Structure 1
Amino acid sequence: MSGSTVYECLTYRNENINRALEALRAGKMIQIYDSDSREGETDLVIPAKAVTFKDVKWMRKDAGGLICVAVDPVASKQLRLPFMAELVREAGKTSDVLGEIVEKEGDLKYDSHSSFSLWVNHRETRTGIPDNERALTIRKIGEITEKKLSGDEIHFGDEFRTPGHVALLRAAEGLLDDRKGQTELSVALARMAGITPAMVVCEMLDDNNGKALSKEDSKEYGKEHGLVFLEGQEIVEAYMKWTGLE
């Protein structure tokens, strides 16, 4: 079955997924809840190439979590983005402190490993932290992801420096076959939507209890702001249909 045929079936059968894909193609924000058995968190999600300073402000003020950019595994490999744990593990060979603190098997209660890669600023930014400068860095990550996937001979270091203020997340090589975190869920949606697979994610936090915002409160927020709310399992099932695995 061709990709387009799978997609036609998918959109016909799951209107919620269809609405989310349409929103992402239009550069709009959506919400993704991973699962009760994983982080149990809802993220605000938007395509990196579409981000403005107003979107960064929105995520910073209304979500409150860490603003990260999830990058497709193929592009991550082409851009030679390392996992942060790999860098620290290598540096730990000459530093006892780093060797002691790098994540080990069993450290994460919700997954086998973290998807964190580098923290960067675009070279055109000054400090990198204001909303407009973070927005620039994020858009440029989307642009370089698209260029690299198109076969351009472009080097990551030509445009970005580290340390910086935008966290990169490297999606697992097998995407949802390997890991079902916000990183992989958002990139899977980007692939289905046919947009550049570099997605901004930011956890929604609760101002009243110091915890992640509950699923119920996240849904209510989404209704008030006209956002599509997706659960991780919806995305997994839709992606399997889209890839022809189901």
Structure 2
Amino acid sequence: MDSGAQKYSENIQRAITALQNGEMILLFDMDGREAETDFTIAANAVTPADVRWMRKDAGGLICVALDSEASEELGLPFMADIVREANQCSTALSKIVEKGGDLKYDSRSSFSIWVNHRDTRTGIPDNDRALTINKLGEIVDRTFNGEEVHFGSEFRTPGHVATLRAAKGLVHERMGQTELSIALAKIAGITPAMVVCEMLDDQNGRALAKNDAKQYGEAHNLVFVEGEEVVEAYDMWLTSQSRKT
């Protein structure tokens, strides 16, 4: 495990330690993009209490970001590609499928399929979603360990947990919480399957302002990390990995 304690900023090191300990952090992408703060935690560490915490205090969509290589190995497609393919059967879909320029904050979405683990009942209660999330982390871990895995034998779709497929180049290709969280996982040396959930404002119906998210973090002793910090640390990590080879 390469935590890089001697080279990363104090704040990044605190975030790394928290993630390695299975704790929640707050992750902000950047001003001018989504400008949103997400609850972020390793998928392997999630408990039903964490799911409850995210849905009550964050309020956004609880998703699992997955490493690009693992997603490829597991055969997970981008949702936009599925809809384009389905358009051959239903031309109505051509009017709603994501097109270039549709997103004001990015060039494309990272959404893949929505799943439930086959051991869940309805898939939506906190314990069901926690199980699905844990099993997503587990199957990514098994994939990297060289095991032959069959995604469909363990998961079904439609389901209640959204999966996100990280870009191959991570933060050098896309600056979403998907890529930022996976970059943090790699720096921390943990399984690159990360749960993200946007913080929403109960008063104005918008994303929670960055300063308000910071205040929440201070009140709950959560590390607050900005995207620029993650990019800087990830570049350091990449350099350290190239030196090893």
TM range (shorter): over 0.9
**What does residue range 84-233 of structure 1 map to in structure 2 within 5 Å?**
84-233=79-228
Deviation at 1:10? 2.3
Gaps of 5+ in 2: none
Asked if 2 retains the 8 angstrom alpha-carbon contact of 1:10 and 1:242, the reply is no
| TM-align CA RMSD | 1.4
**SS of structure 1 residue aligned to 2:160:** strand
**SS of structure 2 residue aligned to 1:210:** coil
Q: Which amino acid aligns with 1:219?
A: K
Matches of 1:175 and 1:191, distance apart in 2:
11
Deviation at 1:93? 2.0
Asked if 2 retains the 8 angstrom alpha-carbon contact of 1:91 and 1:99, the reply is no
Matches of 1:152 and 1:166, distance apart in 2:
24
Residue number in structure 1 paired with 2:45: 50
Matches of 2:19 and 2:7, distance apart in 1:
16
Deviation at 1:9? 4.1
**Cα shift readout 1:109-151 (whole Å, capped 9, x = no counterpart):** 0000000000000000010000000000000000000001111
State percent identity of aligned pairs.
64
**SS of structure 1 residue aligned to 2:7:** helix
Gaps of 5+ in 1: none
**SS of structure 2 residue aligned to 1:241:** helix
Pair 1:67-2:40 in alignment: no
TM-score (structure 2 length as normaliser):
0.96
Deviation at 1:189? 0.2
Matches of 1:10 and 1:45, distance apart in 2:
23
**SS of structure 2 residue aligned to 1:98:** helix
Asked if 2 retains the 8 angstrom alpha-carbon contact of 1:47 and 1:200, the reply is yes
Matches of 1:8 and 1:202, distance apart in 2:
27
Matches of 2:119 and 2:55, distance apart in 1:
22
Residue number in structure 1 paired with 2:7: 10
Matches of 2:24 and 2:7, distance apart in 1:
21
Matches of 1:234 and 1:9, distance apart in 2:
16
Residue number in structure 1 paired with 2:21: 26
Q: Which amino acid aligns with 1:188?
A: A
Asked if 1 retains the 8 angstrom alpha-carbon contact of 2:113 and 2:163, the reply is yes
How many residues are paired up?
241
Matches of 1:202 and 1:8, distance apart in 2:
27
Q: Which amino acid aligns with 1:46?
A: I
Pair 1:36-2:31 in alignment: yes
Q: Which amino acid aligns with 1:83?
A: F
TM-score (structure 1 length as normaliser):
0.95
Deviation at 1:7? 2.5
Q: Which amino acid aligns with 2:4?
A: Y
**SS of structure 2 residue aligned to 1:118:** strand
Matches of 1:158 and 1:182, distance apart in 2:
29
Matches of 2:172 and 2:181, distance apart in 1:
14
**SS of structure 1 residue aligned to 2:180:** helix
Deviation at 1:164? 0.1
